[in-house]
Each structure stands twice: as structure tokens, then as C-alpha cells.
Structure 1
Amino acid sequence: MGQKYLSSIAITYCQPRKIFMPARREQVLFLDYDGVLHPDAVYLSRQGPVLRAEGELFMWAPVLVKILEDFQEISLVLSTSWVRNLSFKRAMGFLPVDLGNRVTGATWHSSMARDWADENKWDGRTRYDQISRYAARAQLANWVALDDDPEGWEATAQHRLVACNPDLGLGDPQTQRLLIEALQRMTSR
């Protein structure tokens, strides 16, 4: 996979979308990329992200598209380091249109860099902390996170996490089942 592949993804998927803070009643899935939509073996090169494992970038994105067909009311908030490293627009541009059209925001926003004298402070926060801060700001009651980083999740919030095996991500049928169950619980409230 090379630059040609990455460029074709950006050209095919990158379309302008409205971004807004989700409403309180909105049902949100916080979405990580690495270890979820492809194996957690992605490195940033001058040409862009490169997967150094078997498969290709976003190889399990179609699985998420299929699962979300039964959950049309769910929005996505990006909780991936891709937003901080590449920008929100570029990170979102890698998603298939069916997923990209659901994106309403990200846990990282470029304006945060102005407010933090030491940007490493953000990197030092757990994914749970990043997500829970966003959920609190947006006053979200209904949310679930799909992530391969279970570190730092409070016991009272474990039910909100669908933890992926970093090597299998959504390619794992058990993770698919757990995600469907979590989304069903969230949407039945």
C-alpha cells in the first residue's frame, strides 16, 4: 500500500460535512481508528498513515457500516489520535462516506492547542478521560466508546466501553457482538 492507495481513499471519501456539538439526547458512539478499524500497527510517514501489519487501513470499516445500518440514530464522535496528528478534516476524510456522514465532532479540537501550554498534557490523558470530558461538555447521557485502550476506565463507566483486541479490532466476531449489544442497550433507554 502506498501513496496512491491513501490518495484514492481521500479522494473517494473526503466530502464536506456539517460539524456540531451533539444534542443532549443524541446517542453517540466514540470511535477510535487504530486497533478498531484496522490493526494497531499504524505509523505516520511523510506520505501519511501506513499500516505495518497484514491487511489495509480501514479494512474493518465496512463491518461498522453494516452494524450501524440497524442504528440509524447513532452519531459518531472521533476519539482517535488521528485528529490531533492529521487534523479533523483529514482524519475524517479517511472514513467511508457512510461513516463520515455520521460524524458530529471529535474529542480533540485544534483550539485546544492554544489553551494548553504543554500539549503533551493531552497525550498523557487516558482515552477515558478524553471521552468523558467531551461527554460532560456536551451533556451526553447516551454514549458508548469503541476503543482498543481500556486503561483508566472507571468501574462505573466500564459498561460504556466496547474494548477491542488491538490486533483484531472489529474483525473479531465477539467484539462485533459486544458492540451490537452495547448499542442495543443504549438505544433502548
Structure 2
Amino acid sequence: MQPAQNTPYLPASTPRSADVVLYLDLDGVVHHEAVLWHPRIGIYMSPYEAAGHALFEWIPLLEAALEPYPAVALVLSSTWCIRPGYSATLKRLPQSLRSRFIGGTFHKRVHGADPWTSSMFRAMPRGVQVMDDAVRRKPRQWIALDDDLEDWPEAGRHHVIACQGTMGLSDPEVQRELKERLYRCHALLSA
């Protein structure tokens, strides 16, 4: 594949888009950041660093925030795109969210399937991954919920709602900001 201008990948096809897209990280957003992976067990919550926490425990908070905005689409912007993979991840989510997903920031058709390519993608800062995806999808408005703010391009920082990895969406301030941003995106589209 040939690199696109300022973008490391040229999409194989035009990805699905929507007027408003919410880029959703998982670890540190919809559950505590202390998530581990084991080849036999798969993905699980660390019993030591996050005792009493469960995978996807804050999903109901996300569902409640999105409920007034049925047209908001979701894009998975998480290492879960690679492992366990986009489809396997969506199977673990409630139908109310699964139906909103239009893709992930990593896709084998766009980025390639070989281990070197996925390794290069993982090494890319999350903000660059999201910004590249937003350039490909061209939503009119977009928001990113993420706990990884390291090396976000300055041009995209105003799109990010920063989560603290141990609190994610359980933080009332994050909930307030998400509701406010969703309302603003909706109001801008209606204007």
C-alpha cells in the first residue's frame, strides 16, 4: 500500500461514516484500566490492581449518555481492535451499543494483516490513530473518549474527553462533559 499524504495508510475502500462519531477506547473508559491478557484465559481484569472491578462495568453509563442521540455512531479506538479483534469485541457488548458501531481505528483491509503492520499500528500514538480514522471517515462532528492522552496531535485535543484510567466513565465530571459534548454536536448539526 502507498502512504497517503500525512496519513500512514491509504484505505482499501471508503469506511462507513456518520454525522457524529464517538471514538471509544475501552480500558480506562468503560472499565478500570488494569486489564490483562493471557493466551489461554483471554482478556480479564487484574485481581490485584482492580479488585472488585469487572470488564465493561461502566457500559450502562455510556448507554444512558447516548440514549437521547440515536444517530451517534461508535468507532472502536482500542487495542481490542487487534486483540481479541473487532468482531470478537463487539460480541461482548450489549446490542444497544453493537448496533451503533461502524468500525474500528484498526482494520486488516486498511492496515494489513501481518504482525509487523499491527505492531506498527500499536506503536502509533492513539491520537494519531483516531485522527487518521477521522480523516478517512469524514464525520461532521467527532468526540473521543480515552484515557491515553500521550502524544495526541494538538489539532485533535479539543475532540478528546480525558478519562482517568481508574475511574473512566464512573467519574461524574466525565459523564457531564460527555453529555455536554453530545448535546453540542447535536445542536451544531441541527443549526
Residue matched to 1:61? 59
User: For the Cα contact (< 8 Å) 1:87–1:110, is it kept in 2?
Assistant: no
Task: Give the whole-Å Cα distance in 1 for the aligned partners of 2:119 and 2:170.
Answer: 32
- In percent, how many aligned pairs have the same letter? 34
Residue matched to 1:32? 25
Deviations 1:108-142 (A, max 9, x none): 11232347844321111111100111111112231
Residue matched to 2:168? 169
Residue matched to 2:8? none
Task: Give the whole-Å Cα distance in 2 for the aligned partners of 1:153 and 1:38.
Answer: 22
Residue matched to 1:48? 42
Deviations 1:77-126 (A, max 9, x none): 00011110112110111111111111110001123234784432111111
Q: What is the CA RMSD across the aligned residues, in angstroms?
A: 1.7
Task: Give the whole-Å Cα distance in 2 for the aligned partners of 1:83 and 1:93.
Answer: 12
User: For the Cα contact (< 8 Å) 1:83–1:91, is it kept in 2?
Assistant: yes
In structure 1, stretches of 5+ residues that fail to align are 1-19
1:109 and 2:107 equivalent? yes
Q: Which deviates more, 164-173 or 42-51?
A: 42-51
Q: Which deviates more, 157-166 or 110-119?
A: 110-119
Residue matched to 1:100? 98
Q: TM-score, normalised by structure 1?
A: 0.83
User: For the Cα contact (< 8 Å) 1:77–1:106, is it kept in 2?
Assistant: yes
Alpha-carbon distance change, 116 to 138 in structure 1, aligned in 2, over 3 angstroms: farther
Count of paired positions:
169
Query: After TM superposition, where is structure 1 displaced by more than 6 Å over at least 4 residues in a row?
Result: none
Cα distance, 1:155 vs structure 2: 2.8
Task: Give the whole-Å Cα distance in 1 for the aligned partners of 2:98 and 2:141.
Answer: 20
Q: Which deviates more, 122-131 or 147-156?
A: 147-156
User: For the Cα contact (< 8 Å) 1:160–1:182, is it kept in 2?
Assistant: no
1:176 maps to a residue whose letter is: Q
1:1-189 alignment runs, 5 A limit: 21-23=15-17, 26-45=19-38, 46-52=40-46, 53=50, 54-111=52-109, 112-114=111-113, 117-189=116-188
Q: TM-score, normalised by structure 2?
A: 0.83
Indicate the SS of the match to 1:180.
helix
User: For the Cα contact (< 8 Å) 2:21–2:141, is it kept in 1?
Assistant: yes
In structure 2, stretches of 5+ residues that fail to align are 1-13
